[in-house]
């Protein structure tokens, strides 16, 4: 069967016209399309670099926080600086403020400035590190301010409810240090309301136990400082403690070449011991008594 192809009149001219239209389209829009494509590529590359920079910034923020808060006695001023520097970087600012408030509160409880040392007897090593009543009041104000800032910022996100709970516990502790037990009770009740219908219901039990202990805290006796105690109430130093001023030049040990003293005999105070008797006088008297004849030597015998 023969293949039959119908040849339409003017088909070649129409195809040539379509090619010419495509060429004109490319001439008109190729440059703008290439510019848009290039801008999209540059924008994507910039977005990728920005995300890497943000991730690096977050890593640096957490590393800086760990470096400052990971010591035995962190500085609250350094923690507050980190909170201000990384204000909107994850939860670093909240963690730093919460840690700084805890440091202030712990200093008030111990009566010593942050970084102060306590010796083996439980006394403050340097008297200038002891907190006065005014210092304690100032530290409690700083702690309350930081706890409140954490609560206000963490409430904006449901995922940071633990920060809100921690800040509320801190406000209750500040109220207890000030003796305001009614305010402390309200803060614990706030914790119970926060954890209701949440996975953190165990904190409700903790808050209830602390509310029960408030009556006990009201009757806690005052802890007096060592300087406020009378002299007879201060415990004497332990014999195991090193001397305060050890002798600079200890006495020299006895020489091994010195003659050993003669034994003096058993002590008198021992049972059965008798005092030593004086030695008899071996010197004969110079002049014999007149009624006694002088001693004479025996005469020698005559030999036979």
Q: How far apart are CA 188 and CA 203, in angstroms?
A: 10
In angstroms and rounded to an integer, the radius of gyration of the C-alpha atoms of the chain is 50
Predicted pLDDT of residue 88: 84
pLDDT in tens, 156-172: 887 789 999 999 999 99
Predicted pLDDT of residue 37: 85
Q: Tell me the backbone φ, ψ of residue 244, rounded to 5 degrees.
A: -65, -50
Predicted pLDDT of residue 1: 46
pLDDT in tens, 29-75: 778 888 888 888 888 888 888 888 788 888 998 999 999 998 888 99
Q: Tokens 């500085």, residue? A: 75
Predicted pLDDT of residue 15: 61
Do the Cβ atoms of 151 and 167 come closer than 8 Å? yes
216 in helix, strand or coil?
Answer: helix
Predicted pLDDT of residue 145: 96
| Percent share of the chain, pLDDT over 70 | 66
Q: How far apart are CA 247 and CA 285, in angstroms?
A: 58
- Cα dihedral 41, 44, 50, 53, rounded to 10, equals -80
Give residues with Cβ within 8 angstroms of 61, minimum separation 6: 82, 85, 86, 89, 90, 92
Q: How far apart are CA 93 and CA 86, in angstroms?
A: 6
Alpha helices for the chain (secondary structure H): 11-69, 76-85, 92-110, 133-154, 161-177, 181-194, 202-218
Structure tokens at 174: 């500040």
Q: How far apart are CA 107 and CA 135, in angstroms?
A: 10
Structure tokens at 155: 């409430």
Q: Average pLDDT by consecutive 10-residue portion of the chain (304 residues)? A: 50 62 74 84 85 84 91 91 90 94 94 86 83 94 96 86 95 94 95 91 93 83 67 63 56 52 51 52 51 51 48
Q: How far apart are CA 157 and CA 151, in angstroms?
A: 11
pTM over 0.85: no
Q: How far apart are CA 219 and CA 214, in angstroms?
A: 9
206 in helix, strand or coil?
Answer: helix
Tell me the residue length of the chain. Answer: 304
Structure tokens at 157: 């996100």
């Amino acid at each position: 069967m023969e293949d039959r192809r119908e040849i339409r009149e003017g088909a070649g001219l129409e195809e040539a016209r379509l090619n010419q239209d495509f060429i004109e389209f490319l001439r008109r829009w190729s440059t703008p399309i290439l510019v848009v494509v290039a801008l999209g590529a540059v924008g994507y590359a910039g977005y990728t670099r920005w995300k890497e920079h943000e991730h690096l910034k977050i890593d640096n923020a957490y590393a800086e926080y760990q470096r400052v808060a990971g010591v035995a006695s962190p500085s609250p001023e350094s923690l507050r600086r980190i909170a201000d520097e990384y204000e909107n970087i994850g939860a670093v600012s909240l963690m730093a403020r919460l840690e700084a408030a805890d440091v202030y509160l712990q200093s008030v409880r111990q009566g010593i400035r942050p970084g102060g040392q306590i010796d083996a007897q439980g006394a403050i090593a340097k008297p200038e590190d002891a907190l006065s009543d005014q210092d304690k009041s100032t530290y409690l104000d700083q702690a309350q301010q930081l706890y409140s800032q954490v609560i206000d910022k963490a409430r904006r996100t449901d995922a940071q409810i633990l920060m809100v709970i921690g800040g509320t516990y801190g406000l209750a502790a500040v109220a207890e240090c000030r003796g305001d037990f009614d305010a402390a009770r309200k803060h614990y009740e706030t914790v119970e309301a926060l954890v209701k219908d949440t996975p953190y219901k165990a904190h409700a039990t903790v808050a209830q136990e602390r509310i029960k202990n408030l009556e006990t805290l009201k009757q806690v006796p005052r802890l007096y400082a060592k300087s406020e105690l009378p002299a007879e109430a201060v415990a004497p130093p332990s014999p195991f403690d090193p001397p305060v001023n050890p002798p600079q030049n200890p006495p020299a040990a006895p020489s091994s070449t010195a003659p050993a003293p003669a034994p003096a005999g058993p002590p008198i105070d021992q049972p059965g011991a008798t005092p030593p008797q004086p030695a008899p006088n071996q010197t004969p008297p110079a002049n014999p008594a007149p009624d006694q004849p002088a001693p004479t030597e025996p005469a020698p015998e005559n030999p036979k």
